[in-house]
Structure 1
Amino acid sequence: MINVVAYIRVSTKSQGDSGLGLEAQRDYIQRAAQANGWKVIGEFVDVVSGKLALEDRPEGAKALALCKEQNAQLVVAKLDRLSRSVLHIAQLMEKADFKVATMPQANTFQLHLFAALAQQEREFIATRTKEALASLQRRAEAGDAVAVQKVINRAEAQAKGRAVADITAANNVRMDKVSKYQSSVRLHLESCLYNKVNTLQSVADCLNTKGIRTPRGSEFNATAVRRLMVSLSLSFA
């Protein structure tokens, strides 16, 4: 039986949080392990761009270290989870043995070939896309109504994407501030509750006496206390 270390990579935090992509990769690896008699002795998950070499990723470096320590092989669901760069794949081949769950019987030469073909196809697609956009822009500038509308639609889609990203970033900042505020107030609120106060207004009075204010800088009232207690999952004893 061959010992293997599972390595999973997703590109965005949302994928990592939701499990999208992550669970599918884990399933590929588990199925391949069962079918080929591999023993999974560890699993590492990175939420990073595939542009980084494996050894430069936080969990990737740990996975490689465990492989070396246990004389195990690295296993990924698909080749692009290791890298989309032929250079990175080639360099990794010199440092560790690895397997790909979707191509369990592929040897080193075949994996290198697959990586090269995949990189070439990506480059072709990027070139074709760039040329198509340039042609579309030229037709739009020449007055082609269909091309003009496509350019407008693309610009609107890009603007919408940036807006969504901005909103997401703003929400993350806001939630971080809320979390820090609640953490700073929690001990004071628990202290008031410990002193046997038994009404929302009495808790508000206790917090106000301590000089604690709401996130907006106002004094607490019964409604504000109720919301804070609910968010912190606190209740009267």
Structure 2
Amino acid sequence: MKRAVAYVRVSTAKQGKSGLGLEAQRVGIAKFAEAEGLELIAEFQEVETGKGADALNKRPQLAAALSEAKRNDCAVVVAKLDRLSRDVAFISALMAKRTPFIVAELGADVSPFMLHIYAAVAEQERAMISQRTKDALAAVKARGVRLGNPRIRQAQEAAAERRTAIAKDFAANVLPIIREIQATGASMRKTAAALNARGIPTARGGTWAATQISDILKRSAV
């Protein structure tokens, strides 16, 4: 029986807490694996947005899934393509890592070329939605309606809270990997080296050091 690694993702902490989006993905992947005769040897779960050029850097669980799949010479399975990304460049970057991934919704035999096509269509759809929003705001402004947020201080505080939430989400995603490594008796320095060896970047896209491992563990203890 062929093996595979499952990867599930939701974009917000609220979705993650409800469990509904994650469970639907698990069911879809499980049904696909059964139909294709795949043994799911591990599952990696993430709560993080798929947007942005640095999206991969912000998704340590995806990096861990790719590393596990590479170690076992198998593919990563996702329920839908958008659980990876709607960005063509992101999909291309994943393909460049030489670790195959399968989109259950599309089937096991979809070629890399077709995956690019599906990603391009999804990216275009997102761009069209964004443009329609901009056009609507421009029309409202043309009618003399004042746009923007008059409560600047509240907006700044909300932005700071958002940055804190992003940091907490990243810590929550990478913490299980750190604990798994430290369960072998690894020191913080060796844990940092193991994360770097697996290709898992820090929140800012850099390499790990012992002090950063300590910060993550302290954050989890708060």
State the TM-score bracket (shorter-chain normalisation).
0.5 to 0.7
Give aligned-pair identity as a percent: 49
Q: 2:8 matched to which residue of 1?
A: 8
* CA–CA distance in structure 2, aligned partners of residues 90 and 69 of structure 1: 21
TM-score (norm 2): 0.61
1:132 aligns with 2:136: yes
1:60 alignment counterpart: 62
**2 CA distance for matches of 1:69 and 1:54?**
19
Distance 1:55-1:97 versus aligned 2 partners, 3 A rule: farther
Segments of 5+ residues of structure 2 without an aligned counterpart are 162-222
Equivalent residue in structure 1 for 2:88, among 86, 89, 114: 86
Q: Matched residues in 2 for 1:49 and 1:18: separation?
A: 16
Q: What count of residue pairs does the alignment treat as equivalent?
A: 153
What is the root-mean-square deviation in Å for CA atoms of aligned residues? 2.7
Q: Does 1:76 align with 2:57?
A: no
Query: Partners in 2 of 1:55 and 1:39 — Cα distance?
Result: 28
Cα deviation per residue 1:197-220 (whole Å; 9 max; x = unaligned)?
Answer: xxxxxxxxxxxxxxxxxxxxxxxx
**Which has the larger helix fraction?**
1
**Deviation per CA, 1:52-72, whole angstroms, max 9, x where unpaired?**
444651211111111011001
Question: Deviation digits for residues 157-182 of structure 1, max 9, x if unmatched?
Answer: xx9xx89x96xx7xxxxxxxxxxxxx
Structure 2 contact 77–102 (Cα < 8 Å) conserved: yes
Over 4 Å off, 4+ runs: none
Alignment of 1:187-206 (within 5 A): none
1:35 aligns with 2:38: no
Distance 1:33 1:20 in 2: 20
Structure 1 unaligned blocks of 5 or more: 142-147, 170-237
Could you tell me how far 1:36 is from its partner in structure 2? 1.4
Q: Distance in 1 between matches of 2:132 and 2:57?
A: 32
Instruction: State which structure, 1 or 2, has the greater radius of gyration over its C-alpha atoms.
Output: 1
Answer whether contact 1:54 1:83 (CA < 8 A) is retained: no
The CA distance in 2 between the partners of 1:7 and 1:55, in whole Å, is: 16
Greater RCO (CA < 8 Å, at least 6 residues apart): 2
Superposed CA deviations along residues 77-98 of structure 1, whole A, max 9, x for unmatched, are 1111112211010011121100
Measure the CA separation in 2 of the matches of 1:55 and 1:110: 25
